[in-house]
Structure 1
Amino acid sequence: MAPPEVLGKLAGMLQFMQSGSYIIGNAIAAVVYPAFGLTFMIALDVAGAVLASIAVATSGIKTPAPERHTPEENAEASHHAVRAFLLETANGYRELKRHHGLFAMLWIGFAFSVLFSPISALFPLMVFDHFGGTTTQSAIVEIAFSVGMIAASGWIGATGGLKNRALSCTLAIGLFGAGTLAGGLVPPSALVVFLGLTFAMGVSSPLYSAPQMALMQERVDPECMGRVFGLYGAVCSWAMPVGLVASTLFADAIGVSACFVLIGAAMVILAGITWAIPSIRKIG
């Protein structure tokens, strides 16, 4: 619905909203968890889901009432839905293959998600095990990451970000990798330095996701947009458990700080690979 020239700004605004929710959530957690414990935290999570559901229900979005069917018709409808899902996924894959740069970025996104997903799980372990910190300090680290996201998202929302979006994605991967690598090398007495690096890592996140979203919106056929976004989301979602399992094994074997160093180094290499792919360089 939005004109192409403002897609980058809209993606930045979306990231800005999400980053703000992360800050509020972590600030609440820093106060609530020490005082009331985990059970109350889970109750807050449920309350948030209920409020979100009410917001959607009252948003004015109308859908037709479902038709009543016999069990046999429901079974046939289920089989048809599965076939339709597989067909739409295949169509989304074919649409992405028509755009060589986007297709290459799909697999770069998979690799980045494998490396990115463990970081959020390792942040608290890094604070507790490496720096000997507290729950409050762990929340502050998460907030520093979110503040970085807000700063970058606000800039993208106001200016549209870098004109060369492929360069923006590459720089974001490199910046996140450099911050992660340096974070693993920070001595236990320098938590403040780690906070600064965490802020830089937060800055890199919207620099990657917002331009990538705008690129797909600009180049993909509108009729295939949902299929392409669904395929991309599925690929990145499958990457997350892979990264978490691998990081768990490595964290137990070599330590959390060493994991940060390895993940950061791998991200820096991935940034170099990304820029070395001609179809990605030309897409921006």
Structure 2
Amino acid sequence: MHWKRTFAFIFSGQIFSILTSSMVQFSIIWHLTETTGSASVLMIAGLVGFLPQAILGPFIGVWLDRWNRKLTMIISDSMIAVTSLILGAYYLWGDPSLWVVYVVLFIRSVASSFHAPSFQAAVPLIAPEDQLTRVAGWQQMVFSASSILGPALGIAVYSATSLGTVLLLDVAGALIANVMLLMVKIHQPKPEVVQAPSFRQEFILGWRTFVSSKPIVFITIAMAGFSIVFMPLAMLFPLMTLEHFGRGGYSASVIEAVFGIGMILGGVLLSVLGSKWRDSTYMSVSLVIIGLTCLLSGVVGSGAFAAFAVLSFFMGAAAPLFNGPYMAMIQKAYEPETLGRVISLVSSMGMLSSPIGLALAGPVADRYGVQVWFFWSGIVVALIGIVVFLKFYGKAGEEQVQG
């Protein structure tokens, strides 16, 4: 089918960009972990990476529903490439101060706040509605494949050369992604449907559209609670490897790799099963599994690195079962003309929750140890999963999403 060929072009280009971005993300986190050993420094890096997306998110959607979504993706990816080029040059000439790293991470986050929702808002313009969950599975597989190779390649290039070289590779990845995007056509919603008389009216319309679907509002609140406790773990995984297990960069990349392998298998499972289960069922199962694996990671001994790797695998496998169906629910619930602003709103809610967790996790991990955060976050995430299951079990609530 034509829409499948379009996604083949898009994903084949995006995998290069996502792969090199994964290399950069892991290399920067490991560099900060290795050179500072401070959870607070890692949390600040996380904050400057999340805050722009959280603050800009509610407003970006209005512009996304006006602009050409393909062009928005190309421009934002190009901005990310420019920041990689600048920071890469800094590292090739010497070791920049932390504030330079923070500024570059901030700018990359601004660009990402446009790229991710514009891509998600473009998906329903290409794929049939009954294939959205399956497409979400494909997308998770692309991200998962990159998350496996990214850390391993990132630490290899970082160890053999420098962080600057890793950053320059990210520039090449963005260029490939943009060339592939230029080769596909994405139809835009009709301007007369998209545009409202003013920015303020469009923003209000986006908010009213979002709250019109009560199941989406409930799931988004649950997602926000999940983000508070789980998002800091993305920054704490390398610190767990370094501090608790006393291992180096390659061991940290192994954890990232097995997490990514799990994500690939989870994405395959989601794409195969498609819509055999309700989206809320996938999400509740995902949250319970993630919660249990986090809890167990919080109690493993310092000599049980292999056990931690196994837990990371199952944690990764569960992740696509939440992310994919959640986005599919949103894509099914709203018309394409308003989807950009709705996706930006829900994304910003998760992003606004993340800084709360990051601000708490840094001091807690520095004072009580990184395992404490793993343990208690696991309990909270599992409880959220149970609440989501009970909310939708035996009810027609989720079906109202599509009405």
Alignment correspondent of 1:283: 398
CA gap of 1:242–1:88, structure 2 versus 1, over 3 A, is farther
The within-5 A match list for 1:167-206 is: 167-206=281-320
Question: Greater shift after overlay, 26-35 or 140-149?
Answer: 26-35
Alignment correspondent of 2:212: 98
Q: Deviations over 1:152-205 (max 9, x none)?
A: 101111221651211111111111111111011111111111011001110111
CA gap of 1:161–1:151, structure 2 versus 1, over 3 A, is farther
Asked if structure 1 preserves the Cα contact closer than 8 Å seen for 2:140 and 2:264, the reply is: yes
The 2-side partners of 1:161 and 1:132 are apart by 43
The within-5 A match list for 1:124-203 is: 124-160=238-274, 162-203=276-317
The within-5 A match list for 1:1-284 is: 1-57=126-182, 59=184, 84=199, 86-160=200-274, 162-277=276-391, 282-283=397-398
Asked if structure 1 preserves the Cα contact closer than 8 Å seen for 2:292 and 2:378, the reply is: yes
Shift of 1:23: 1.5
CA gap of 1:242–1:87, structure 2 versus 1, over 3 A, is farther
Shift of 1:14: 0.8
CA gap of 1:161–1:264, structure 2 versus 1, over 3 A, is farther
Question: Greater shift after overlay, 159-168 or 189-198?
Answer: 159-168
Shift of 1:3: 2.4
Asked if structure 1 preserves the Cα contact closer than 8 Å seen for 2:280 and 2:392, the reply is: no
Shift of 1:56: 3.9
Q: Deviations over 1:105-139 (max 9, x none)?
A: 11111111222211110100000000111100100
Shift of 1:220: 1.6
Shift of 1:88: 3.0
Asked if structure 2 preserves the Cα contact closer than 8 Å seen for 1:166 and 1:280, the reply is: no
Question: Greater shift after overlay, 18-27 or 196-205?
Answer: 18-27
Structure 1 residue ranges without an equivalent (≥5): 64-80
The 1-side partners of 2:170 and 2:206 are apart by 34
Alignment correspondent of 2:102: none
CA gap of 1:13–1:106, structure 2 versus 1, over 3 A, is same
Asked if structure 2 preserves the Cα contact closer than 8 Å seen for 1:101 and 1:280, the reply is: no
- What is the Cα-based RMSD across aligned positions, in Å? 2.5
Shift of 1:31: 1.3
Asked if structure 2 preserves the Cα contact closer than 8 Å seen for 1:104 and 1:280, the reply is: no
SS in 2 for 1:277: helix
CA gap of 1:279–1:221, structure 2 versus 1, over 3 A, is farther
- Counterpart amino acid of residue 223 in structure 1: E
SS in 2 for 1:228: helix
CA gap of 1:5–1:62, structure 2 versus 1, over 3 A, is closer
The 2-side partners of 1:156 and 1:236 are apart by 22
Runs of 4+ in structure 1 off by over 6 angstroms are none
CA gap of 1:115–1:89, structure 2 versus 1, over 3 A, is farther
Asked if structure 1 preserves the Cα contact closer than 8 Å seen for 2:141 and 2:267, the reply is: yes
TM-score by length of 1: 0.85
Structure with larger RCO (C-alpha < 8 A, sep 6+) = 1
Shift of 1:248: 0.8
| Identical amino acids, percent of aligned pairs | 29
Asked if structure 1 preserves the Cα contact closer than 8 Å seen for 2:286 and 2:318, the reply is: yes
Shift of 1:276: 3.7
Structure 2 residue ranges without an equivalent (≥5): 1-125, 189-195
- Counterpart amino acid of residue 26 in structure 1: P
